[in-house]
């Protein structure tokens, strides 16, 4: 019985992966490739990439290492990039001059001494890198959810799925779990891989400034904290997004032709009526609380019990409505 | 005898129009029931109502459960696929089998694989790329591989040529049917299915015109081939239909003593299509 139940749930999840294999399997691969190119680009032009792809943080980190080396090495030699020409040049300084030039750089905020003192600077870089990467599965999951109860009504397979011994409640719960946890898990692994690759690639610029890359990385990275963050972020993100995602499922059960346009219409209608009737923006403000950084504030939902409980209640309400409209569809193409 | 399907005064509405009127049917185990009716007669509506997909009122029990209340659990023992075009086109056949073996406790993967090999379908092909005939074959493979007590098929051979249709019905009934199970098949193809049926239901305009076993039908409906000499006497008897034939007319009778007809000409068992046409024509006249 338990075996059948687990194989049944696995089959339902597998079915979702079969249907969305392009985005769930090729998506992360594509993301890894694009990120790899971006990381190599960042590593090569680490001090000139501005804020692109964590470039500022990375640049500060590398230049921080540079500054530390100057402090430790007695100013025999320092390597800085030529900002104008784009060619990395090596200049020699006397101790005093070198320290003087360092001050100049810190004035322009190129070096943040706090960052140098922070022994786990790489965790911060990887944290923001991961958060940025995880925007991709967020968009993919929303796109998947707004269509998940619509496409079978459009292609005529609705009654086939209904004639399986799977209740709408089970069907919708599995779809939501896939979007909240399974898709982010796949992309989370991709993000983990990207982070490892980025660490490997950043061996080069660290080595270039004359430091031992392995010891620098180990000095600046708390591995257990890094892994723990990835797991916690995955769970927190899943719980945080539940109300938004269940709204997308509801939209999917109501949509006639396009889940995207129906959701845009529904959101605009809700915002409009709220502002006209009550003169407030609670819907948007409330929705933002359940969206992750950088769309919203960088907070964890599990740290706020009120938000957590309210989110779960909203999720249950939207899901109950979605189950109702799944059983009694308003629009059916066959 | 236990009924697999029992509907009493079942009605279904679509908006303001009634699509099923006072349907009464009773299907026991070990039956192959043909649901026969012209296009738009309410066949699919009836089938969907029987599994709870359509709203309906009236008494309805399928395997002693009300499908409107029991929900998806019903489909562990009742297998219903509306038609072959409802199979998910994006899925590969082997993915579909994998899904079915996971969610359907009565799906026999080995049997399905064996039947698939027999039908020469490639398991790695997307269902959407199959021709109509191939999709219909797959539909039958799935239906046969599910060990359910009640199999409900809606136009299962749509898109197949005559030979394949015959073969398919033969295989389906040979592989599926036993004394505990029943099959309810809706179709237009009366001639091909006639030999496999144990019972028949005629439906027109949402109403059941006739629900009977083939045995009773054979006794009740007789066809008389009569020459011009006895035509007057034959026409004097209450008939349900007649048509011209070489050397005279063929007249269809219901509930007339066979011995009485034999005095007038050659009497034989009426074929299902003639009975169906005569009943439909009778309704149309009214």
Q: What length is written for chain A?
A: 334
**Residue of B82, B95, B101 with shortest CB distance to A159:** B82
**The residue to which tokens 């005898």 are assigned:** B1
- pLDDT, position A92: 40
Test the B interface: residue of A6, A23, A163, A173 with most B CBs within 10 Å:
A163
- pLDDT, position A58: 66
Three-class secondary structure assignment of B9-31 = EEEEEECCEEEEEEEEEEECCCC
Lowest mean pLDDT, pick from A66-80, A281-295, B208-222, B254-268: A66-80
- pLDDT, position A106: 40
Please list every residue in chain B whose beta carbon sits closer than 8 Å to the beta carbon of residue A155.
88-90
Mean pLDDT to the nearest integer, B225-251: 85
Q: Is A88 helix (H, G, I), strand (E, B) or coil?
A: strand
Determine whether domain B5-205 maps to CATH 3.30.70.100. no
Helix (H) or strand (E) holding A74: none
Q: What is the DSSP string of A253-283?
A: HH-SS-HHHHHHHHHHHHHHHHHHHTS--HH
Mean pLDDT to the nearest integer, B169-198: 82
pLDDT by residue for chain A (334 residues), tens digit each? 566 667 889 999 999 999 998 888 889 999 999 988 888 887 777 655 544 445 566 666 666 666 666 555 544 343 444 434 444 443 444 444 444 444 444 443 333 444 344 456 788 889 998 999 999 999 999 999 999 999 999 988 999 999 999 999 999 999 999 999 999 999 999 999 999 998 888 788 788 788 888 888 888 889 999 999 999 999 999 999 999 999 999 999 999 989 999 999 999 999 999 999 999 989 999 999 999 988 888 888 888 999 999 999 999 999 999 999 998 888 776 5
Is the predicted pLDDT of residue B227 greater than 80, yes or no? yes
Mean pLDDT to the nearest integer, B194-219: 91
Q: How far apart are CA A306 and CA A290, in angstroms?
A: 12
A109: left (phi over 0), alpha (psi -120 to 50) or beta: left
Between these two residues, B212 and B133, which has the higher pLDDT value? B212
Supply the DSSP symbol for A164.
Answer: S
Tens digit of pLDDT for each residue in B79-104? Answer: 997 777 789 999 999 999 999 999 99
- Closest to A134 measured CA to CA, from A298, A262, A316, A318: A298
Please list every residue in chain B whose beta carbon sits closer than 8 Å to the beta carbon of residue A25.
none
- pLDDT, position A270: 93
Three-class secondary structure assignment of chain B = CCCCEEEEEEEEEECCEEEEEEEEEEECCCCEEEEECCCCCCHHHHHHHHCCCCCCEEEEEECCECHHHHHHHHHHCEEEECCHHHCCCCCEHHHHHHHHHHHCCCECHHHHHHHHHHCCCCCCCEHHHCCHHHHHHHHHHHHHHECCCEEEEECCCCCCCHHHHHHHHHHHHHHHCCCCCEEEEEECCHHHHHHHCCEEEEEECCEEEEEEEHHHHHHHEEEEEECCCCHHHHHHCCEEEEEEECCEEEEEEECCCHHHHHCCCEEEECCHHHHHHHHHHHHHHC
CB B33 within 8 A of CB B185: yes
Supply the DSSP symbol for A76.
Answer: S
Q: Which CATH class is domain B217-285?
A: alpha beta
Residue limits of CATH 3.40.50.300 in chain B: 5-205
- Residue B108: which pLDDT band, with cuts at 50, 70 and 90? very high
**Minimum CA–CA partner of B128 in chain A:** A155
- Closest to A142 measured CA to CA, from A25, A313, A290: A290
* Residues in A lying within 8 Å of B, measured between beta carbons: 4, 7-8, 10-12, 14-15, 18-19, 152, 155-168, 170, 334
Residue limits of CATH 3.30.70 in chain B: 217-285
B127 shares contact with chain A (CB less than 8 Å) = no
CA distance B260 to chain A (A): 51
- pLDDT, position A148: 95
Q: Do B72 and A165 touch (CB under 8 A)?
A: yes
- pLDDT, position B1: 64
- pLDDT, position A119: 53
Q: Do A160 and B98 touch (CB under 8 A)?
A: no
- pLDDT, position B282: 61
Tens digit of pLDDT for each residue in B48-62? Answer: 999 998 889 999 999
- pLDDT, position B231: 86
**Residue of B86, B90, B103 with shortest CB distance to A8:** B103
Test the B interface: residue of A20, A152, A164, A168 with most B CBs within 10 Å:
A164
């Amino acid at each position: 019985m338990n075996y059948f139940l687990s194989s049944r749930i696995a089959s339902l999840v597998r079915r979702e992966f079969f249907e969305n294999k392009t985005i769930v399997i090729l998506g992360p691969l594509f993301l890894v490739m694009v990120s790899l190119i971006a990381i190599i680009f960042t590593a090569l032009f680490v001090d000139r990439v501005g804020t692109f792809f964590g470039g500022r943080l990375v640049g500060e980190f590398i230049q921080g290492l540079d500054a530390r080396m100057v402090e430790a090495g007695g100013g025999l030699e320092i390597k800085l990039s030529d900002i104008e020409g784009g060619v990395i040049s090596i200049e020699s300084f006397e101790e005093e001059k070198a320290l003087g030039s360092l001050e100049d750089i810190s004035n322009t905020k190129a070096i943040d001494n706090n960052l140098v003192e922070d022994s786990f600077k790489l965790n911060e870089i990887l944290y923001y890198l991961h958060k940025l990467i995880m925007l991709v599965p967020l968009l993919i999951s929303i796109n998947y959810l707004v269509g998940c109860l619509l496409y079978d009504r459009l292609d005529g397979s609705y009654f086939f799925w209904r004639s399986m011994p799977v209740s709408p409640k089970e069907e919708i719960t599995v779809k939501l779990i896939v979007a909240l946890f399974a898709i982010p898990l796949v992309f989370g692994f991709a993000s983990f891989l990207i982070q490892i690759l980025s660490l490997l690639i950043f061996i080069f610029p660290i080595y270039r400034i004359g430091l031992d890359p392995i010891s620098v990385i180990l000095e600046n990275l708390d591995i257990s904290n890094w892994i723990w963050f990835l797991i916690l972020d995955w769970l927190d993100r899943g719980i945080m997004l539940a109300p938004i995602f269940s709204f997308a499922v509801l939209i999917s059960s109501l949509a006639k032709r396009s889940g995207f346009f129906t959701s845009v219409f529904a959101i605009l209608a809700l915002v409009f009526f709220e502002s006209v009737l009550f003169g407030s923006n609670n819907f948007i403000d409330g929705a933002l609380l359940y969206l992750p950084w950088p769309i919203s504030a960088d907070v964890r939902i599990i740290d706020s019990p009120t938000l957590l409980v309210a989110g779960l209640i909203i999720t249950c309400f939207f899901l109950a409505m979605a189950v109702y409209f799944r059983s009694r569809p308003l629009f059916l193409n066959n | 005898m236990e009924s697999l399907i029992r509907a009493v005064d079942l009605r279904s509405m679509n908006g303001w129009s009634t699509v099923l009127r006072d349907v009464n049917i009773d299907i026991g185990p070990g039956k192959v029931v043909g649901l026969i009716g012209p296009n738009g007669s309410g066949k699919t509506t009836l089938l969907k109502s029987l599994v709870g997909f359509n709203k309906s009122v009236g008494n309805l029990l399928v395997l002693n459960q009300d499908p409107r209340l029991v929900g998806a659990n019903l489909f562990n023992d009742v297998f219903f696929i509306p038609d072959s075009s409802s199979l998910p086109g994006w899925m590969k056949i082997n993915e579909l089998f994998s899904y079915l073996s996971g969610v359907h406790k009565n799906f026999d993967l080995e049997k399905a694989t064996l039947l698939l090999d027999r039908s020469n379908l490639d398991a790695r092909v997307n269902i959407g790329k199959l021709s109509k005939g191939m999709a219909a074959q797959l539909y039958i493979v799935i239906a046969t591989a599910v060990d359910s007590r009640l199999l409900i098929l809606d136009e299962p051979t749509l898109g197949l040529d005559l030979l394949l249709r015959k073969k398919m019905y033969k295989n389906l009934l040979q592989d599926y049917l036993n004394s505990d199970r029943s099959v309810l098949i809706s179709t237009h193809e009366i001639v091909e299915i006639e030999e496999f049926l144990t019972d028949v239901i005629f439906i027109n305009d949402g109403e059941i015109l006739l629900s009977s076993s083939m045995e009773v039908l054979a006794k009740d409906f007789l066809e008389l081939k009569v020459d011009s000499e006895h035509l007057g006497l034959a026409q004097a008897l209450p008939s349900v239909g007649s048509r011209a034939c070489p050397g005279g007319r063929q007249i269809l009778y219901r509930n007339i003593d066979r011995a009485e007809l034999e005095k007038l000409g050659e009497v034989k068992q009426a074929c299902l299509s003639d009975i169906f046409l005569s009943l439909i024509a009778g309704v149309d006249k009214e």
